[in-house]
Structure 1
Amino acid sequence: MKPVTRAAVLLLSVAGTLGATVPASNAVSADTSYVSLQHPQPVRETAKREVVEVFWYGCVHSQLLEQPLEQWAARQPSDVVLRRLPAVWPGESDQTVERGHARLYYTLDRLGQVDRLQLAVFHAVRDENRDLTTEDAAADWAASQGVDRKSFTTAYESDQVRQEVAQAPDDLKRYEITELPSAVVQGQYLTSPTRAGGVDAVPQVIDQLLERVRTKH
């Protein structure tokens, strides 16, 4: 199945799975560019304002959002933190591709290589149609990008990365994700290209939500 088609199928599937727990009539705010989570989530660093980007390397809209979001993050003050969450849809009978992509992401994250290589992974998966879902393929690609192969393999096989991949479906449930990409601000508010009015509008909505968080405290 082509990545775009697969993304559409996954979106419909997860919407059906989570629809009962995230009723639109209760979650939608007066401003339809975002929704409030039914169950707000804690942030990792209480002194920071946190934005969680939920993405999938096989999703065209996730790819389109990545560069504007990186440019947005570069302009933020030190108390704003961008954290990424690779999507592994809960309830999917075959999570092989999503888990493979998530494992690649968490390996690069552990090695401190995400900021440098995030766009390059999207390019390899989306534009070059490379399968990076196995250890050998991912390690070959990472080595071609200047990552030490042994260090990559050690991180890829680590218990920490395995645990993070295993936790990913539960994280999607916690953040009430029904669309990719999505952004969760301070564990309270969720926006996406559909809600914001397009990929390019997402950073502006995030700014508005961060200001909302700031003025509430």
Structure 2
Amino acid sequence: MQTVSRTAVLLLATALTLGPAVPTAAAAAQHSTGSAPVVAREGEQYVSLKHPQPVHGASVREVVEIFWYGCRHSAQLEQPLEAWAARQPHDVVLRRIPAVWPGTSDQTVERGHARLFYTLDRLGEVDRLQSAVFRAVREDGLDLTTEDPAAGWAAEHGIDEQRFRSAYESSQVRDETDHAPDEMTRYEVTELPTAVVQGRYQTSATRAGGVTGIPAILDQLLQKTGH
């Protein structure tokens, strides 16, 4: 598969997220008339994975989000994605995967963030603390990539420190962290954040026209699953 420059893609996603400095006449007209949302078209707003992936449960419709705590666009998606997930029926499941890009300068930091995520996931604390981790990393500039500061932060947010450390050092969390780079390949990720519906349909900030456009595309892709 052709190698894609992550820096270039993230820069493009930044431009799309922020939008043009001066709205075009067409964009202004669309805003004023309240036109219909964009229809998701294959090759434009989404692509089909070359190698579809299994979902975690035969009776569910699964949305996988691939994110990084250090990614501005991932942070911008969190609140819209939480709101989107809250209004879904019980058979729609949001599963998160922390990004670890093999061979990049950010790999060590990403790996530390992945281990923090999988620790919170093992403790059942992701839904409660996901936004808080983004704020700690992106807004407060905290380094939560190693055990001691991560454990201290977790204790400040209501998690027993010894319980956190036990999960952090568990073989399950170590294995999940080790396999995180493989998930990037499985889901054919070329930018962050990326979302995959039912192991088949992939969208992203670039394809959706910005992070705030992702939830509407997810709704349309879920309809395509036939459930």
- Tell whether the structures are fold-level matches, with TM greater than 0.5: yes
Task: Name 1:121's counterpart in structure 2.
Answer: 133
Superposition TM-score, scaled by structure 1 size = 0.85
Partner residue in 2 for 1:21: none
Cα RMSD, aligned residues only:
1.9
Q: Secondary structure at the match of 2:94?
A: strand
**Equivalent of 1:138, from 150, 170, 181?**
150
SS in structure 2 of the partner of residue 163 of structure 1: helix
- 2:42·2:48 contact (CA, 8 Å) conserved in 1? no
Which residue does the alignment assign to 2:205? 193
> How far 1:35 sits from its partner (Å)?
0.8
Q: Is the 8 A contact 1:14 1:90 kept in 2?
A: no
Q: How far off is 1:13 after superposition? A: 8.6
d(CA) in 2 for partners of 1:30, 1:36: 7
Match for residue 91 of structure 1? 103
- Secondary structure at the counterpart of residue 179 of structure 1: coil
**Residue in 2 aligned with 1:80?**
92
**For 1:33-70, what per-residue CA distance to the aligned partner results, in whole angstroms no more than 9, with x for missing partners?**
01110110010112110000100000000000011101
Contact 1:49 1:186 in 2 (8 A): yes
Within 5 A, what are the aligned runs for 1:1-217? 11-12=6-7, 30=42, 32-92=44-104, 95-214=107-226
- Cα distance 1:57–1:163, how it changes in 2: closer, same or farther (>3 A)? same
Q: Is the CA contact (8 Å cut-off) linking 1:111 and 1:155 kept in structure 2?
A: yes
Distance of aligned partners of 1:14 and 1:30 in 2 relative to their CA distance in 1, 3 Å threshold: closer
CA distance in 2: counterparts of 1:138 and 1:156, whole angstroms: 9
Structure 1 residue 171: Cα displacement: 0.7
How big is each residue's C-alpha offset from its partner over 1:119-172, in whole Å with a ceiling of 9 and x where there is no partner? 000000000000000100100100011111000000000000000001100011
Structure 1 segments unaligned to the other structure (5+ residues): 1-8, 16-28
Whole-Å separation in 2 of the counterparts to 1:103 and 1:183: 20
Is the contact between residue 11 and residue 179 of structure 1 (CA under 8 Å) also seen in structure 2?
yes
SS at 2:141 equivalent:
coil
1:10 deviates by 7.4
Under a length normalisation based on structure 2, what TM-score does the superposition of the two structures give?
0.81
Deviation at 1:30, TM superposition (A): 4.0
List gaps (5 residues or longer) in structure 2.
11-40
Contact 1:55 1:85 in 2 (8 A): yes
Cα distance 1:62–1:93, how it changes in 2: closer, same or farther (>3 A)? closer
Kindly state the Cα deviation for residue 198 of structure 1 after the two structures are TM-superposed: 1.1
Look up the match of 2:21: none
Higher Cα radius of gyration:
2
What is the CA–CA distance in structure 2 between the aligned matches of 1:103 and 1:109, rounded to whole Å? 10
Q: 1:14 to 1:99 in 2, by over 3 A?
A: farther
- Count of residue correspondences: 194
